[in-house]
Amino acid sequence: MIEKIQQEINHLKGLGAAYVDTRWYPIEEQNYLLMWNGNLKTTASSRESGVGIRVLYKGAWGFSASSDLSNLSALYAKAFDNARIAAERVTFPVRLAEKDAIEAQFESPCQMNPFEIPLADKVAFLRTMDEKLNQEGVEQRISDLNFMRKKIVFVDSEGSQIEKRITEVFSTLQVSGRDADGVSHERKFKLGRLGESRGWESIDMATFSKNAERIVKELNQVLVAENCPKDDRSVILLPGIMFLQTHETIGHALELDRILGYELAYAGGSFVTLEDFGKLRYGSEKLTARADATLPNSPGSFGYDDDGVPAKNTVLIDKGILVGAITGRQMVEEANAKARKRIFMESGGANRATSFYRVPIERMTNINIDPGDDGTLDDIVADTEKGIILDGDRSWSIGSNREQFHFGEEIGWLVEDGQITDVVKNPTHKGDTLKFWNALSAVGDETTWKVQYVENCGKGQPNQIMQLGHGVPVCRFDNVRIGE
């Protein structure tokens, strides 16, 4: 197969293509189980295979994909024809940043292949969790397991050949109930990074049991709690919401294709401009953020991106100043040319596609916030005069240029004079992105830093879902509007 792919690539090069690559997925598998109130509602597996072909011709991209490999030549011809037509409307001819030709392999860390675990064991796990969640106050209890495995062979016209084997494990426990007014509330636990690998060994019964007990207890606290007040105070974000704040108002805002206007007609743009790099005070001096695809064991670590560029650890915001972006080969060239200076030295290795039938675009890797020196959660609470601790993503809505946001959380704990006082229900917080990050007044130490997994980040047209991670500490922001 690889030989045939190389022949087809060479053929298109002979026809004038500037660049051709192929992602061949010999296999991609998924196994998903969902238990809802004791009913195993979903027991599903899937398997797919196919190829996606990307052709660059006269400065324009063409792409074609199919699961039918019986006529590869026709598929390559279609991709070439798509590029030929696209070349009729080019305003900035696509160029690709330099990279080395690489022959390499990558395998995500996995001790116990979840696809070799008997279905009965997985069902037994969900059953156990369901029993643990089936407690007073809980009306709806949901637990799921989501396993993915894929083998990707990347071949390009520049001499690269990379084979990746990636295994993903995701799991969520969720409970919901209604308060005296009939209003629903929920609490959940999402599996994050537990250790050095993410196979079946991630499904650690002790961890899940402890968290099942915790979310049931916290739900019952919320059900009898008062509403979140509507006022301005310090918000202390636990990793269970801090990851999403980071995702939506740093991650998406710093995708270079968004900054350059490639998502303007759909997902939106970014308030960041090319002139801002090296100058814009994005946050307080306590803020250092990075796109770190080298972090061991996270869905945002994948060895090599779908341009064939090795994973990198790129600083995005250095002590509050914007210095980097989430980038791939095409966008760094265009950004440098448009800025008339070399903002980006090379591709950040963040171009990824969700499947063989989608084209790679800039995606988050692990968008992390460095731990700080403001101590533990207890230390931060003790140092807070009037605040609220927030946890659990319930809703999120962000402005089209990522300039403002509104988040709803599952639970809040009021803080008065350095002490946690009451639990409150229906907490929300909202704000303007730059004002908010510049109000960052405390960053927790490494004891507060956790890697949260994201299994369903959506972007692009045709739409793509991507898996990634966020390593985040507990953070405090001052003077934030809550309860609206």
Question: Does residue 180 touch other proteins according to CB under 8 A?
Answer: no
Residue 255: DSSP 8-state? B
Q: Which stretch binds other proteins (CB under 8 A): 160-168, 265-273, 275-283, 307-315?
A: 265-273
Question: Does residue 484 touch other proteins according to CB under 8 A?
Answer: yes
Question: Does residue 198 touch other proteins according to CB under 8 A?
Answer: no
Tell me the C-alpha distance between 269 and 105, whole Å: 35
Our CB check for other proteins shows the closer of 173 and 442 to be 173
Which three-class secondary structure state does DSSP give residue 378?
Answer: helix
Which three-class secondary structure state does DSSP give residue 42?
Answer: strand
Task: List the interface residues with other proteins, window 421-480 (CB under 8 A).
Answer: 426, 428, 430, 432, 458, 461-465
**DSSP states along 20-54:** EEEEEEEEEEEEEEEEETTEEEEEEEEEEEEEEEE
Q: Which stretch binds other proteins (CB under 8 A): 56-64, 153-161, 321-329, 381-389?
A: 56-64
Question: Does residue 119 touch other proteins according to CB under 8 A?
Answer: yes
List the end-to-end C-alpha distance of the chain, in Å, as a whole number. 57
Question: Does residue 44 touch other proteins according to CB under 8 A?
Answer: yes
Using CB under 8 A, which of 14, 116, 118, 180 touches other proteins?
Answer: 118
Tell me the C-alpha distance between 308 and 102, whole Å: 7
How many Cβ atoms are within 10 Å of 421's Cβ, its own excluded?
Answer: 11
Our CB check for other proteins shows the closer of 247 and 394 to be 394
Tell me the C-alpha distance between 291 and 225, whole Å: 38
Question: Does residue 264 touch other proteins according to CB under 8 A?
Answer: yes
Q: Which stretch binds other proteins (CB under 8 A): 54-62, 165-173, 195-203, 344-352?
A: 54-62
Tell me the C-alpha distance between 276 and 281, whole Å: 9
Least distance between other proteins and beta carbon 52 (Å): 9
Which three-class secondary structure state does DSSP give residue 4?
Answer: helix
Cα–Cα distances in angstroms (integers) from residue 385 to residues 231, 233, 476, in the given order: 14, 9, 12
What binding mask, one character per residue, do residues 310-349 give for other proteins by CB under 8 A, x or -? ----------------------------------------
Catalogue the long-range contacts made by 204-212 (C-beta closer than 8 Å, 24 or more residues apart).
205/125, 205/128, 208/125, 208/129, 208/171, 208/173, 209/128, 209/129, 209/132, 211/173, 212/129, 212/132, 212/133, 212/173
Least distance between other proteins and beta carbon 187 (Å): 13
Using CB under 8 A, which of 4, 178, 214, 342 touches other proteins?
Answer: 178
Using CB under 8 A, which of 6, 43, 161, 376 touches other proteins?
Answer: 43
Q: Which stretch binds other proteins (CB under 8 A): 37-45, 294-302, 316-324, 444-452?
A: 37-45
Question: Does residue 184 touch other proteins according to CB under 8 A?
Answer: yes
What binding mask, one character per residue, do residues 216-255 give for other proteins by CB under 8 A, x or -? ----------------------------------------
Our CB check for other proteins shows the closer of 251 and 303 to be 251
Question: Does residue 412 touch other proteins according to CB under 8 A?
Answer: no
Which three-class secondary structure state does DSSP give residue 275?
Answer: helix
User: Could you tell me which residues are beta bridge partners of residue 187?
Assistant: 175
Residue type at 40 in one-letter notation: L
Q: Which stretch binds other proteins (CB under 8 A): 3-11, 98-106, 117-125, 278-286?
A: 117-125
Using CB under 8 A, which of 26, 399, 422, 447 touches other proteins?
Answer: 399
What binding mask, one character per residue, do residues 81-110 give for other proteins by CB under 8 A, x or -? xxx-xx-xxxxx------------------
Contact 423, 411 (CB under 8 A): yes
Least distance between other proteins and beta carbon 267 (Å): 9
186-217 per-residue burial string, b: 16 or more CB within 10 A, e: under 16: bbbbbbbbbeebbbbbbbeeeebeebbeebbe
Task: Compute how many residues bind other proteins; rule: CB under 8 A.
Answer: 83
Phi and psi, residue 291, nearest 5° = -105, 100
What binding mask, one character per residue, do residues 348-377 give for other proteins by CB under 8 A, x or -? ---------x-x------------------
Least distance between other proteins and beta carbon 78 (Å): 6
Least distance between other proteins and beta carbon 197 (Å): 25
Our CB check for other proteins shows the closer of 372 and 408 to be 408
Closest among 247, 238, 196 to 366, alpha carbons compared: 247
Task: List the interface residues with other proteins, window 139-168 (CB under 8 A).
Answer: 139-140
Radius of gyration, alpha carbons of the chain? 23
Using CB under 8 A, which of 307, 391, 403, 410 touches other proteins?
Answer: 403
Least distance between other proteins and beta carbon 110 (Å): 22
Contact 125, 172 (CB under 8 A): no
Closest among 441, 433, 449, 426 to 385, alpha carbons compared: 441
Catalogue the long-range contacts made by 5-8 (C-beta closer than 8 Å, 24 or more residues apart).
5/51, 5/72, 5/155, 6/155, 8/53, 8/72, 8/73, 8/76
Please say whether the dihedral angle defined by the alpha carbons of residues 291, 283, 247 and 185, taken in this order, is positive or negative. positive
Task: List the interface residues with other proteins, window 65-84 (CB under 8 A).
Answer: 65-68, 70, 78, 81-83
